[in-house]
Amino acid sequence: MKKAVLMDRDGVVTEDTGYVHKIEDFNLVENAVEGLKLLKGFKLIFITNQSGIGRGYFKFEDFLDYNNRVVQELKKNGIKIEKTYVCPHAPEDNCECRKPKTKMIKDAARDFGIDLGKSFMIGDKKIDVEMGHNAGCKSILVLTGNGMKEKENANADYAARDLIDAAKWIRENDK
């Protein structure tokens, strides 16, 4: 069984300007590349809610184009994102894949042979932390994106300044 770092994308790795889907709006969060480079040896996987698709704000193809840009930019920096799991539904759809439900993270565990008990979830929202805990992972709240607003109620195993801080904590707590 493999260890993984599962992470939200927007607000954690990329700037979250709200319903992010336009390539021209692409910006990496400060220290994201440096932090991800510290996680060599872990499977790196995106787990993301994209309710803008379900709400009709943008098309699934727009999400794919933007996400491919993110993955390619990280690849140029020597970082491999194994796969992106996406929930395209609006909250009111009450689907099984929307965080904090665990379908996406369990699908990733099945697809990649991941031991969730030895893995980590990183996000900038309470729902990311909850999903990680619900699936048996240690959960980290990064204080980038929405993290500062969510800090009080997130109940994370660790609150990290950024991905460098999160990666260092993961290395120290990787058992």
- The average confidence (pLDDT) of the chain is 97
From first CA to last CA, the distance across the chain in angstroms is 13
Domain count, the chain: 1
Q: Please, are residues 97 and 106 in contact by the beta-carbon 8 Å criterion?
A: no
pLDDT tens track for 47-99: 999 999 999 999 999 999 999 999 999 999 999 999 999 999 999 999 999 99
- Quick one: pLDDT band at residue 175, thresholds 50, 70, 90? confident
pLDDT tens track for 112-152: 999 999 999 999 999 999 999 999 999 999 999 999 999 98
Q: Please, are residues 21 and 66 in contact by the beta-carbon 8 Å criterion?
A: yes
Nearest to 50 by CA among 21, 81, 71: 21
Give the predicted TM-score (pTM) of the model. Answer: 0.96
Q: For the range 13-20, what are the long-range contacts, defined as Cβ-Cβ under 8 Å and sequence gap of 24 or more? A: 13/46, 13/70, 13/74, 13/163, 14/70, 15/145, 16/124, 16/145, 16/146, 19/52, 19/57, 19/58, 20/66
Stated length of the chain: 175
Catalytic annotation, residues: 8, 10
Q: Please, are residues 54 and 88 in contact by the beta-carbon 8 Å criterion?
A: yes
Nearest to 52 by CA among 24, 84, 6, 87: 87
Residue 33's domain spans which residues? 4-172
Spatial distance between the Cα atoms of 70 and 50, rounded to a whole number of angstroms: 15
91: DSSP letter = G
Spatial distance between the Cα atoms of 7 and 28, rounded to a whole number of angstroms: 14
Q: And the tokens for 100?
A: 């904090």
Query: The domain spanning residue 62 has which CATH number?
Result: 3.40.50.1000
